[in-house]
Structure formats: C-alpha cells, structure tokens
Amino acid sequence: MQHPDVCIAGAGIIGLSLALELHHRGYRVTVFDQGEPLSESSSAAAGMLAAHDPDNPPQLLPLATLSLSLYPDFLNRVRTLSGRHVPFQTHTTLQSVPLHTATASSELTTKDLTHLLPALTPREHRFILLDEHSLDPRQLASALLAAVHATTIDLRPHTPVLSTRSIGNTVEITTPSGTMHAAQFINCAGAWAAASSHLLNIPVTPKKGQMFSVVLPPSLPMHFVVRTPDVYIVPRTAGPAAGHAIIGATVEDIGFDKIVHPSDIDRLRSLAITLLPVIAEAHQLEAWSGLRPATPDGLPVLGAVPGQPNHFIATGHYRNGILLAPATANVMAQLIVGEASSTDLSPFSPNRFFAELPSP
C-alpha cells in the first residue's frame, strides 16, 4: 500500500468534506468506509442548515455561524469538481418557540402566517421567522461523491478500520485488506466512531431518527420549512424531489437499530397534521431512519485524541452534521496543518471526556 499523508475513517459528509479540504491544501488523503460512502446519516438527514434552532446548545453557535459563512464556497468547490449544482431548497423557516421567548419584533402574527401559507393553523404554536436555508442531502451526497472521485483522494468503500496505533511519527492503520501507515489519522466515523476498539473512551452513541417523505398536495405550495421541537416539515422545491416534503423525526436511544416502525411514522404524520391539516391527504413515498452521532453534552468532538499521538477525531455532530460539515473540514484541516483555528474549539475538545478518567 502507498503511504498517504492523512488517513480518514468514515466517508460520510464530515469525512469527505475534510478529505476535499485537505486535498485542496495539497495533502494525499485516503478515506476508508465500512460500507458505502454517504450511505448513513449523511443521506438520511433532512438538510436544514438550522444554526438558529433554539434547541441547539448555545456553545454551538460560533461553529454553526462559521459553517454558514463557508457554505457557498463549499458548494462552489463541489460544483467545480463535480459539475453539479446543489441548490438551496428553502430560504425561510417558521420556527415555533415557547411563548415566553417570542419577542414582539420577531414574532409572526397569524395574519402573516395566513398570508405566507393559507393552510398553516398555528393554534398551539407561536412562530418566529428565521432566515435559514435547507438543501437536499441526497443531492449533496451524490455531488460530493462525484467531486471526490474527480480528485486523487483514495476512497475505499467496504473497508473498515480494524485498529490503529501510533508508531514514531506515523500511525499504523489496519484494515481487512492490509496495513497502511499515514502521518495522521482522523476518526470521522459518525455514530460508529466509538465502536472501534481504539477509541472506546469517546462517548459517541447513535440516536435514531425515523422520518418519511410525502408528495405535497397541489393545494399546498410550500416554499419554507416549518419546525417545532417535536416535528419538522421540509419541502423540496428543486431537483429530483421537487414537490415532495420530508417529515421527521424521532429521537431514540436504542443503539444501532434502524428498523422503521409504521406506528412511529403515523405519530409523526399526526404531529405534522396539527400544523398543516392538508398533510392528511399527502401520499407517502418513503420512510427511513438514520443514526445521529450524539455526545452527552450535545456538542461535536473535534480535536486531537489524548494519549494517541497523531490521532484526531471529528464526530458527534448529532442533528447538525450537514450544517457543520464545511466548518468541521475547515477547523480540522487547520489542526492537521498546524494553523490557528478560525474559531474557539475548546467547547468541542475531546479532553472534556477524559478529564474524569482515573489515573493509570
């Protein structure tokens, strides 16, 4: 095997965005994935770039804001390499907020909502209007994969990383196809990041999300996202899924189970109907689930792995992997090349999970 500069485990949106960034900086990059690239949460996601969702931990905002600012360049790079344009699907989100936090200036009135969307019935919800984009993660996945294939990035599907160890200034990476040495190793394996024996101390666990898609009735010309803490409705307005909407999602702590239960989909549909009664008439297309990589504090884990020289980790993006991919690629590439970071990474330090370990 050749010796790349950097080896990445996990060809999801985080791993491949980082691979593109490092390739752009002149690095030789190999990416391993235990299955097909972009086939897990990267394609299951709804695609809301929800930097201002009130349910996000406040410490996430600087990284989320950085990522939003990098998104146009990220999509341009993907377009230049792949020839594929990934458009924003929506530009506005109606976000429900608890009554006590809605401010007079940002709060929409029922009249405003009726003007925007005649079908919306905000009986139990008060909404604010967010300038927020969404995109179709499946469109992005296919363009991103084409972009990676247009480079010299060595992408190896169906090749799990079995173990890694630091040897001098290199990392030895073992896969079923052999052993490789790289200067640096980055674990971007999402919900599976802690499943491999070499990173047992990082508490990343899967949080299952079930969701489904519908054909929007012609009476519902929907061009914006509607979101409450319990349900979201995300219309697709361009591309192969135009006229459809994604409705999600459950948040379940039951391990690596991806079974879709019709009763859970029915419950999501009932929640969506309380917001938009015409959803009751919408024909269901698909139902699926994804496994979000979650940490105990809801924040990503970005940085060097303590006690394992030349090992890095970038996972734990939970509900915001699509949003945070460009910023994660940016700050992790800065760490790898030894540049100062664009934003304070201390809230995301892997060290926060090691501080309480007993001394050996």
Shortest distance in whole angstroms from residue 150 CB to ligand GLY:
28
**Interface stretch with ligand GLY, choices 44-52, 54-62, 93-101, 180-188 (CB under 6 A):** 44-52
The interface mask with ligand GLY, positions 162-201, x = CB under 6 A, is: ----------------------------------------
Least spacing, CB of residue 206 vs ligand GLY, in Å: 12
Please work out, in degrees rounded to the nearest 5, the angle formed at the alpha carbon of residue 59 by the alpha carbons of 53 and 60: 50
Evaluate the omega torsion of the peptide bond into residue 249 and state whether it is cis, within 30 degrees of 0: yes
Among 248, 303, 316, 350, binds ligand GLY (CB under 6 A): 248
In angstroms, the CA 123 to CA 161 distance is 51
Q: How far is the CB of 32 from ligand GLY (least distance, A)?
A: 25
- Residue 296 CB, shortest distance to ligand GLY, in Å, is 17
Encoded tokens for 98: 């608890």
329: nearest Cα among 3, 4, 27: 27
Report the nearest approach of ligand GLY to the CB of residue 188 (Å). Answer: 18
Following DSSP, what letter does each residue of 23-66 receive, concatenated? HHTT--EEEE-SSSTT-SHHHHS--B--TT-TTS-GGGHHHHHH
Helix (H) or strand (E) holding 145: helix 137-149
Region of 6-14, 45-53, 110-118, 253-261 interacting with ligand GLY (CB under 6 A): 45-53
Q: Is 101 exposed, middle or buried (0-12, 13-18, 19+ CB in 10 A)?
A: exposed
Residues 315-344 binding ligand GLY (CB under 6 A) are 319
Least distance (Å) between residue 74 CB and ligand GLY: 18
269 binds ligand GLY (CB under 6 A): no
Applying CB under 6 A, the span of 40-48, 62-70, 113-121, 123-131 interacting with ligand GLY comes to: 40-48
Residue located via tokens 């007079």: 104
Q: Is 209 in the site for ligand GLY (CB under 6 A)?
A: yes
Binding footprint of ligand GLY, residue count (CB under 6 A): 8
CB of 220 within 8 A of CB of 43?
no
Q: How far is CA 178 from the centre of its chain?
A: 30
Residue type at 39 in one-letter notation? S
What's the N-to-C CA distance of the chain in angstroms? Answer: 36
Beta strands at 178-182 and 170-175: parallel, antiparallel or unpaired = antiparallel
- Find the binder of ligand GLY among 45, 202, 299, 314 (CB under 6 A): 45
Contacting ligand GLY within 287-316 (CB under 6 A):
292
Name the minimum Å distance from CB 45 to ligand GLY: 5
Q: How far apart are CA 248 and CA 288, in angstroms?
A: 10
As measured in angstroms, the least distance from the Cβ of 163 to ligand GLY is 31
Nearer to ligand GLY, 42 or 184 (CB): 42
Among 18, 20, 38, 46, binds ligand GLY (CB under 6 A): 46
Q: What is the DSSP letter of 252?
A: B
- Residue placing its CB nearer to ligand GLY in the complex, 74 or 318: 318
Per CB under 6 A, does 7 bind ligand GLY?
A: no
Question: Looking at 43-51, 76-84, 129-137, 149-157, which segment touches ligand GLY (CB under 6 A)?
Answer: 43-51
Q: Give the residues lining the site for ligand GLY (CB under 6 A).
A: 45-46, 48, 209, 248-249, 292, 319
